[in-house]
């Protein structure tokens, strides 16, 4: 929204909220400088009707009544536009305090801090302070990625985006055209869920692997946004935390400690190798590739083939 229009809407809202009697269009035009500069009556009438509709769309309740001079008047009574009292219990206030910490390293830090100050002034439950940690450890949600803010705005405004993305098994980043749905933090990392237009499917992207700038694009979404976006569950499955099978691998002795921590059994084979049985789900092939020549997949055959294909793709890149 242009600054001039925002200022005009603010002035109109203040006039309608500040008056004790309905104001006619003539009186409003004489009270607001931008309307005096509108030129002809037709130009003013069109501008005023658009502004009135915009304010109503933003939630302002504007009553239309007949005033004493027989003209149509407009009034936004304070009773009709007053928010209900803020009532928060201790758990709700704590949740808002934690949510505000998401923005502590982003450009919205000032807005989040101001919102919490207003909540305190409105009367938080006794003994609750959202600025103080609740317990021995203070939870923090880091937001270091430059892609976070433009993606957050794109999710809010439902705007498609483009960015370069480097997969874990790719040597170089590639372009992605995405309709962003939701952002979520999981185990200290931020992820974006959305519709990948090039692949025609839902995808989850780790923000730390986005390179360069995130660019917003015009146009509407081509895919429906789900009522519930399961970012955390998708990432957990991708990371292998949701397991329904077992894999048998050989692992070089003294390496792959994260794999050893997940293993159901470990058997020494000698000659510098161990045999591990690992429960796994979707995404284990991408994880195993990260260990390079220290891992050899024995079974199942499908997993072995997936790992080999990924290694060949990296070699070609």
Per-residue three-class SS string for 37-79 = CCCCHHHHHHHHHHHHHHHHHCCCCCEEEECCCCCEEEECCHH
Integer CA distances (angstroms), 116 to 101, 113, 134, 136, 174, in order: 11, 5, 16, 22, 41
Q: How far apart are CA 135 and CA 75, in angstroms?
A: 49
What's residue 100's pLDDT?
62
Give the residue among 106, 231, 215, 223 at the shortest CA–CA distance from 164: 215
Q: Which residue has the tokens 């329904």?
A: 244
What's residue 212's pLDDT?
87
Q: What is the pTM of this model?
A: 0.45
What's residue 277's pLDDT?
93
Mark 269-298 as b/e (b = at least 16 C-beta within 10 Å).
eeeeebbbbbbbebbbbbbbbebeebbebe
Q: How sure is the predictor about 138, in pLDDT bands with cuts at 50, 70 and 90?
A: very low
Q: What is the pLDDT of residues 47-98, one digit of tens each?
A: 999 999 989 888 889 988 886 677 889 988 877 787 677 676 767 766 766 6
What is the average per-residue pLDDT within 212-222? 92
112 pLDDT more than 80: no
204 pLDDT more than 60: yes
143 pLDDT more than 70: no
Q: How far apart are CA 289 and CA 312, in angstroms?
A: 10
What is the average per-residue pLDDT within 282-301? 84
Q: How sure is the predictor about 159, in pLDDT bands with cuts at 50, 70 and 90?
A: very high
210 pLDDT more than 80: yes
On the 0-12 / 13-18 / 19+ scale of CB atoms within 10 A, 124 is: buried
Q: Which residue has the tokens 């302002």?
A: 60
């Amino acid at each position: 929204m242009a600054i001039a229009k925002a200022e005009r809407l603010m002035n109109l809202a203040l006039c309608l909220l500040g008056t004790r009697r309905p104001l006619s269009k003539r009186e409003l035009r004489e009270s607001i400088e931008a309307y005096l500069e509108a030129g002809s009556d037709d130009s003013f009438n069109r501008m005023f009707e658009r502004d009135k509709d915009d304010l109503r769309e933003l939630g302002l309740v504007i009553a239309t009544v007949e005033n004493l001079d027989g003209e149509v008047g407009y009034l936004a009574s304070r009773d009709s536009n007053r928010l209900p009292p803020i009532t928060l219990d201790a758990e709700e206030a704590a949740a808002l305090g934690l949510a505000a910490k998401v923005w502590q390293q982003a450009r919205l830090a000032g807005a989040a801090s101001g919102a919490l100050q207003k909540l305190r002034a409105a009367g938080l439950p006794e003994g609750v302070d959202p600025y103080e940690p609740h317990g021995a450890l203070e939870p923090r949600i880091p937001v270091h990625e430059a892609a976070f803010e433009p993606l957050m705005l794109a999710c809010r405004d439902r705007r498609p985006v483009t960015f370069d993305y480097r997969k874990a098994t790719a040597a170089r980043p590639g372009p992605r055209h995405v309709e962003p749905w939701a952002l979520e933090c999981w185990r200290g990392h931020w992820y974006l869920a959305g519709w990948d237009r090039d692949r025609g499917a839902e995808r989850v992207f780790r923000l730390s692997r986005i390179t360069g700038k995130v660019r917003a694009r015009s146009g509407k979404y081509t895919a429906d946004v789900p009522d519930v976006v399961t970012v955390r569950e998708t990432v957990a499955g991708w990371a292998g935390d949701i397991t329904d099978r077992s894999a048998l691998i050989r692992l070089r002795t003294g390496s792959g400690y994260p794999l050893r921590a997940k293993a159901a059994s470990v058997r020494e084979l000698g000659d510098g190798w161990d045999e591990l049985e690992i429960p796994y789900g979707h995404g284990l092939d991408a994880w195993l590739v990260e260990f390079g020549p220290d891992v050899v997949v024995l079974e199942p055959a499908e997993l072995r083939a997936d790992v080999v294909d990924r290694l060949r793709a990296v070699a070609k890149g």
